[in-house]
A = this chain, B = another copy of it.
Amino acid sequence: MIQAETKFRVRYAETDQMGYVYYGRYAEYFEVGRVEAMRLLGFSYKDVEDKGILMPVIELNIVYKKPAFYDDEITLITKLQEMPSGYRIKFEYETKNAKNELLNTGTVSLVFIDKKSNKMVKVPDWFQQGLLPFFKANP
């Protein structure tokens, strides 16, 4: 399993008139979380696209337990439980506030698209090779 933590503050723009972080903004947070998780593994998502692979999201699930508020310090935990082997990669998320209260949990599944052919492809070898040491080291 691979796990990464990202910390950031809620922006005013991200709140709505309830005073909560707007429920759709977590998609943006989750994106930041997986990009930072990938960076820890030695990948920049920018490089992935430069290598001709797009990774659009194919499924998003969020269960909201508590709201986040303006200026809250958020900790986002991003997990990759399984080495991706087929067409998909699935990230799991936990969002917490500064009191360590669980705000929500979520999952995001993405696919690999070859930019030229615009077709879905299996997880590239170089991608899998990059993850391998982490899955070996953390059995």
Footprint of B on A, CB under 8 Å? 11-13, 15-20, 22-28, 31-32, 35, 44-46, 54, 56-64, 67, 70-71
Whether A64 pairs with B59 at a CB distance below 8 angstroms is yes
Give the complex CA separation of A27 and B23 in angstroms: 7
**Can you list 15 pairs linking A and B with CB atoms under 8 Å apart?**
A11-B31, A12-B22, A12-B31, A12-B45, A13-B27, A17-B17, A17-B18, A22-B27, A23-B27, A24-B25, A24-B26, A24-B28, A24-B31, A46-B71, A59-B63
Q: A24-B28, A24-B31 are in contact. Are A16 and B18 (CB under 8 A)?
A: no
In the complex, what residue of chain B is closest to A61 when comparing beta carbons?
B61
Give the copy number.
4
Cβ-defined contact, B56 with A67, below 8 A: yes
What chain B residues lie within 8 Å of A67 (beta carbons)? 56
Contact of A46 among B35, B63, B70 (CB under 8 A): B70
A59 neighbours in B (Cβ, 8 Å)? 61-64
Residue in contact with A60 in the complex, picked from B12, B19, B58, B60, CB distance below 8 Å: B60
Q: From A13, A17, A60, name the one whose CB has the most chain B CB atoms within 10 angstroms.
A: A17
